[in-house]
Structure 1
Amino acid sequence: MTTTMRTIVTVLLMCWGAGTVAGVYFNDDLVLFVSDVQEHTKASSVVIVYAGDDQSLNTTSLMQLLLRKFSSKFVPSLTLNYSDVLRHHKSYRQHTTKPLFVVLITSYQELHMFQRMTGSYDMSYPSWLLVFTSETSRMCYRPSGNSFNLAFDTEMLVKCYNDPTVREWYSVRFNETSIYELITWTPERGLRLMSKKSFYERRNNLGGMSLSVVTVGKVPENGSHYNHNFYSSVLNELSKSLNFTLNFTCTEKFGGTYNKSENKWTGAIGRLERGEVELGASEFTMTENRLGVIDFSFPIMISRSKIYVQQPDGSAMNLYSYFKVYHINVWLSIKFTYIMASLVVTILRLIIKGKSLPYGHVSENFLSIWGILWQQGLPELPKETSVRIAYYVVLLEAALLTAIYSACLISYLAVTRPSLPFSDLKGLANDGSYKVLTLRESADYEFFQTSTNEEMEKIRTLMPESNSQPLSKEVGFQRVCEGKNAFFTTGHVKNLAHYKIPCDVIPLDTKRIGCFSITMRKRSPYKGLINYYLLKFIDNGLIKRLRSQVYRKVYNRDKKYKPMNIASVIFIFLVLSIGFTCSLMILCCEVFAHKANLEWRSRKTATISKKKMVERKALDEVNIAEYKDNLLYIAYLKTIHHRKV
């Protein structure tokens, strides 16, 4: 029969010896019992495990009946011997969900074989069903130690010979087997639960056993490795509810990452991966690499990762701050509106007067509209009603725009906003002037080192070496206050160190969420139990209460508002200076132009006067000549007259 089936069901059948069918179980009743157990455990597949190939005819026929029964129920099933189970364990575990195992044992020899198999097998992976015969009934009622290598989360049902009670076996301590009467079974009535408690409500007592815990941080001066934090508080509540003690055995300086050169995990993760401790009580973030070597409980803390940088002093008002009140589209719309208003007023006046307007009338109307925008009076109130209405609409719009602009600008100046050259991870990577810090050998450091994102690769070049990263959150924030450093951590870590930060810091969102849990060694038998009670703590509000005690509400420091410096209002003085300078330059130009005009006029007048004088002189000379001629002519006439007389 093929061994590549993807489903495995385990039923351990320690049954009767060869040739003793009568007086033990009828095969039909046993098949019905195993079928009822499969339905109770909701196993998706069944595997019947037997000792070897030399089985009796009764055992072989029983296995065939079981295979036929499960086949009729469309439940995958197969038979395997002990060696096949061990050989194909990894393959089955990777490709199947939790099955139910059926193992046929007909003697004490097979019982010892099964014990040897369980010594190297993970008994928490499948569900088990053990059926003892009369020859092995003593072992059924009085198991010695922990013969089958049971764990706390092992699911094993045991049916003793000729006993309707089905018991549940598991182990709290390594060398003890705990027994719980769970089910009664008869052929007539089938399975009947003796308890309505759930799996972990039945197993809610660890018997005072001690679990070793590793923490992260500074080692206390008193020598104790107990660090009071949110996670140790949660473990304390779990220990009270489940009756176990916490042994804080060691404290590591950092969480830990995978060291490729040494081919091992460092820090607290390394201790959990090597099995030196059972639990970890600190701020461990889930990552893909960590999930491969340790187990995480249900997340009890979710926090956003942020980049913290030092808050700049005051709010720097740059050259464009006064234009940020309105969007560029609004400014363009205002400009277009006032140009069109100037044209409309010009056209209205042109239509009303019915004749061409003097040169420069359009610019005069534009200046009038611009004066209305700045609440200036008109040089001349128009008599036409249509033009007055146009001016009134412009005045109303100017009043609204001025009021909105003033309110927004005052709000912008009154509310201090930090001014940074970037606002996210992409901007930080492009800026390149800040060093990016994370806690040494933490999940955040691992995130940047293993990411293939282009922005993360840029930020990786801005990060110091691992040995230069801060060991604690307090040191990280202190370095942020000392220079151009950006600290990548979560919001709740910042809240813990809030009152120890020597300067004001501001967060930048990274759109990354961190999940924090209690950590355990890989395949810890207590993972399911811890998760079950953590969910109960979340439902009844205990986790929230513990979180509020440790992560107290952060109150901002009393802010000391500084007076606005000259750099913040330099633009106003710059505008005034430019205006005064332009006015003086225009005044000088006008003076020079006026003088030049006067000189030109005087030269022109002098030229005209000189020309007139020349003309007058020439005329006078002509007149004198004519006068002389007239005098000579008169004298000539008089001479002639005298001669005649």
Structure 2
Amino acid sequence: MSRNLLYYLLLSNLYLSKLQNLAEVKLIANYVKKQEYPQHVTLFTCWNKRTILTVYKQLAEKKIVLNVLTNHWKINQTKLSQHTFLVGDTLCPQFNSLLSHAKLLQAPNKWLVFDQNSTVNTNDLLLDSNFAVASQISNGRFHLKLCYKRAPNETIKFNEIGVFSNGFEYYNHFIPTRNRSDLSGVNITVSYVVTKPDYPFDVEDYRFRHLEAFSKLSYAMVYPMLEMLNCTKKFIQRSSWGYKGANETQFVGGMFGDIQNGTAEIGGTVSFYTVDRMSVVDYLSVTTPSDLKFILRAPPLSYVNNLFTLPFDTKVWYCLYFIVGVTVLILYVIVRCESTYENALERRNNIDNIKPKFFDVVMLQIEAITQQGSENEPKTMSGRIAVFIVFLVLMFLYTSYSANIVVLLQSTSANINTLQDLLNSKITLGVEDVVYSHHYFETQTEFTRKSIYEKKVAPKNQKSNFMTTEMGIEKMKDEFFAFHVETTAGYKQIMDTFQEHEKCGLIEIDYLNVLYPSITIRKNSPYKEIVKVNFRKIYESGIRHRQLNRIYYKKPHCVGKGGSFKSVGIVDIYFSVEIFAIGCFMALWLLLLEVLFKKKIKFLVQTTLSRDNL
């Protein structure tokens, strides 16, 4: 009798164990399917092979891949799928060793753990974790809840998921940004940058809104975001973002130094995207359209072109050369014919007849081009008609040329639009003297950008052109000068110091060629998703748009383009002065040759006479 009873009890325990494992298998299959996207399930259990095979079948029907680790419980974390779902059982002796792998507990990994005695407790179950615990209420019936901590040293909190028995009796869909958005006073430290601590700076003071505009707008976004999280705020002010040296792995001080060493959770001032920073922070959201660009006034045409070649198109110049050449030949033929007439070279009416020399014909043509008239003229009617037509045609061309020159002297050039144009032009360059400008200009490796820095910004053995915003904008106003500055600060100074007509023709040229900067958060921070979503809410509510219009200065509008007339400078007439100088040099050189030739002839004549006398 006792033997039969013992046999009966063993069969009953085996049957109940099988039923329990079957219920767990159904729970796994149904809960994985609730996650709404394909999963790669990894099973950490000490279940028997029959139960594991049942799990295989259940998940295979739902087209879900299963990986089972039963022996050594080792996992290569680098080969985990993006949407890995891990299943564990606290009754298995080696389960607790899994909880020491913090990365396994972080998003985007998801967990389902069978824990009857509520023994799960680790500091790595933070806000971004998706760690579901299934506790058995009765045979085949489980209560599911998500475990997390708002901070490592706090007590465990729970999100209710549902109750399962052969199917979910009820199920609460879990969204971290909705279910865990209240931090209940958890400390969040924000490090932000003020590059000019000497100025009166207050992030909430809009009297000097052009100073540290990127930090002010970032603060205007970060502060309401932290209010929405209901956290305790702490701000740290730094004078720099913090940068790495050539062979360094740590950021030296600054905002990124605070984030890397764990002092700060969020970078409260926007930062540009760089490769070395991506190992330390995650970029969240663009809050400010901060531009660092070269600003310059469109230069006069004379600075980049020869004004005296611009009035006519190339084809017109070719036609002009052709007309001059043809008329010179025609006049020369006519004059040669006139020279055969009797008394052809007699002076009549105080006017000399043109001599049959090619150079005299060329001089007549030059006089016609410059509309200066001539002391000589042909004698015949055909010659006079030819001269009249030449003077008439060239008069129209001269008038058109003169009118175009007047317009071009007041015009500006649109030929400086790229960094290569800046490098090749005569323009002087300057850069705002702030820490990030030094860093980005000094670390450029691209040929054109590096050449700009080495040749025009900081030439060797010369003083570098880093200067204050006020000095740079003043030089831009008075000289042919381009100034690299944060556009908000630059345009504020331009609006305060430029005349209305001087605000026309402003040109921007991007030097850094980077994306708009973004707010950053510590790499793999558990607060990343809720911070990102709250920033999106701020954008959609219009707060960002309002603060952007309140803080940032835009490019000034041109309202007085024709309101002034500038005088002609030496640069504008440089080409004519150059021609004058060349002409003077050639005249003096020819005069010297003539004097030497005359002396040579005189010497030869005297030598010949002396010989004859002998």
Alignment TM-score, normalising by the size of structure 2: 0.66
1:412 and 2:408 correspond: yes
Aligned to 1:247: 234
Determine the C-alpha separation between the residues in 2 that align with 1:157 and 1:211: 26
Determine the C-alpha separation between the residues in 2 that align with 1:325 and 1:483: 23
Determine the C-alpha separation between the residues in 2 that align with 1:110 and 1:359: 119
Partner SS state of residue 264, structure 1: coil
Aligned to 2:516: 515
Structure 1 residue 43: deviation in Å?
4.2
Aligned to 1:66: 55
Determine the C-alpha separation between the residues in 2 that align with 1:326 and 1:150: 76
1:322 and 2:323 correspond: no
CA pair 434-183 structure 1, distance change in 2 beyond 3 A:
same
2:84 to 95, 99, 113: 99
Aligned to 2:245: 259
1:170 and 2:153 correspond: no
Q: Deviations over 1:198-238 (max 9, x none)?
A: 54233332223331111111558999998861101100121
Q: Would you say the 8 A contact 1:164–1:185 is kept in 2?
A: yes
Determine the C-alpha separation between the residues in 2 that align with 1:48 and 1:83: 13
Determine the C-alpha separation between the residues in 2 that align with 1:495 and 1:245: 37
Partner SS state of residue 524, structure 1: coil
Structure 1 residue 303: deviation in Å?
4.6
Partner SS state of residue 511, structure 2: strand
Structure 1 residue 44: deviation in Å?
3.7
CA pair 20-528 structure 1, distance change in 2 beyond 3 A:
farther
Partner SS state of residue 151, structure 2: coil
- Equivalent positions of 1:72-87 (< 5 A) are 74-80=63-69, 84-85=73-74
Determine the C-alpha separation between the residues in 2 that align with 1:430 and 1:415: 17
1:149 and 2:124 correspond: yes
Partner SS state of residue 296, structure 1: strand
CA pair 475-362 structure 1, distance change in 2 beyond 3 A:
closer
Determine the C-alpha separation between the residues in 2 that align with 1:320 and 1:304: 30
2:159 to 180, 200, 206: 180
Structure 1 residue 542: deviation in Å?
2.9
Determine the C-alpha separation between the residues in 2 that align with 1:485 and 1:20: 89
Aligned to 2:535: 534
Aligned to 2:133: 158
Q: Would you say the 8 A contact 1:302–1:513 is kept in 2?
A: no
Partner SS state of residue 512, structure 1: coil
Partner SS state of residue 215, structure 1: strand
Compute the RMSD of aligned alpha carbons: 5.8
Determine the C-alpha separation between the residues in 1 that align with 2:566 and 2:479: 24
Aligned to 2:224: 237
1:36 and 2:30 correspond: yes
Q: Would you say the 8 A contact 2:188–2:232 is kept in 1?
A: yes
Structure 1 residue 536: deviation in Å?
3.6
Q: Would you say the 8 A contact 2:43–2:68 is kept in 1?
A: yes
Determine the C-alpha separation between the residues in 2 that align with 1:223 and 1:578: 57
Q: What code does the residue aligned with 2:33 have?
A: E
Q: What code does the residue aligned with 1:106 have?
A: L
> How much identity, in percent, do the aligned residues show?
15
Determine the C-alpha separation between the residues in 2 that align with 1:535 and 1:383: 89
Aligned to 1:130: 112
Count of residue correspondences: 535
Determine the C-alpha separation between the residues in 1 that align with 2:433 and 2:20: 68
- Equivalent positions of 1:558-597 (< 5 A) are 564=567, 567-568=570-571, 570=573, 574=577
Aligned to 2:41: 46
Partner SS state of residue 286, structure 1: coil
Q: Would you say the 8 A contact 1:425–1:510 is kept in 2?
A: no
1:208 and 2:185 correspond: yes
Structure 1 residue 45: deviation in Å?
1.4
Partner SS state of residue 516, structure 2: strand
Structure 1 residue 63: deviation in Å?
2.4
Aligned to 1:455: 448
Partner SS state of residue 570, structure 2: helix
Structure 1 residue 251: deviation in Å?
1.7
Q: Deviations over 1:514-547 (max 9, x none)?
A: 4211121121112222222333433443322221
Question: Which stretch of structure 1 is more off in the superposition, 296-305 or 521-530?
Answer: 296-305
Q: Would you say the 8 A contact 2:430–2:481 is kept in 1?
A: yes
Determine the C-alpha separation between the residues in 2 that align with 1:215 and 1:480: 32
CA pair 73-409 structure 1, distance change in 2 beyond 3 A:
farther
Question: Which stretch of structure 1 is more off in the superposition, 564-573 or 358-367?
Answer: 358-367
Partner SS state of residue 31, structure 2: helix
Q: Would you say the 8 A contact 1:437–1:476 is kept in 2?
A: no
- Equivalent positions of 1:164-563 (< 5 A) are 166-174=144-152, 175-182=154-161, 185=164, 187=166, 194=172, 198-217=175-194, 218=196, 229-248=216-235, 250-260=236-246, 263-266=249-252, 267-307=254-294, 317=302, 321-326=306-311, 329-330=314-315, 332-339=317-324, 342=327, 399=396, 402-403=399-400, 405-406=401-402, 408-415=404-411, 424=419, 427-428=422-423, 439-440=434-435, 442=436, 445-459=438-452, 461=454, 463=458, 474=469, 477=472, 488-492=484-488, 494-495=490-491, 507-510=508-511, 512-553=513-554, 555=556
Which entry has the higher C-alpha Rg, 1 or 2? 1
Aligned to 1:617: none
Determine the C-alpha separation between the residues in 1 that align with 2:171 and 2:403: 74
Partner SS state of residue 106, structure 1: coil
Q: Deviations over 1:116-174 (max 9, x none)?
A: 724744521443333436x42xx2xxx89x54631111123333324566433333233
Determine the C-alpha separation between the residues in 2 that align with 1:344 and 1:33: 106
Q: Would you say the 8 A contact 1:216–1:252 is kept in 2?
A: yes
CA pair 234-129 structure 1, distance change in 2 beyond 3 A:
same
Question: Which stretch of structure 1 is more off in the superposition, 535-544 or 519-528?
Answer: 535-544
Q: Deviations over 1:275-321 (max 9, x none)?
A: 11111122411101111122221223345542357x79x95957964
Partner SS state of residue 251, structure 1: strand
Determine the C-alpha separation between the residues in 1 that align with 2:532 and 2:398: 61
Determine the C-alpha separation between the residues in 1 that align with 2:468 and 2:257: 21
Structure 1 residue 34: deviation in Å?
2.0
Alignment TM-score, normalising by the size of structure 1: 0.63
Partner SS state of residue 524, structure 2: coil
Q: Would you say the 8 A contact 1:183–1:192 is kept in 2?
A: yes
CA pair 341-225 structure 1, distance change in 2 beyond 3 A:
closer
Q: Deviations over 1:348-379 (max 9, x none)?
A: 999xxxx9999969999988988887779998
Q: Deviations over 1:243-299 (max 9, x none)?
A: 234211x22211111135765212211111111111112241110111112222122
CA pair 40-454 structure 1, distance change in 2 beyond 3 A:
same
1:22 to 16, 21, 37: 16
Determine the C-alpha separation between the residues in 2 that align with 1:490 and 1:362: 64
Structure 1 residue 101: deviation in Å?
0.8
Q: What code does the residue aligned with 1:454 have?
A: F
Question: Which stretch of structure 1 is more off in the superposition, 493-502 or 238-247?
Answer: 493-502
Q: Would you say the 8 A contact 1:470–1:476 is kept in 2?
A: no
Structure 1 residue 177: deviation in Å?
3.1
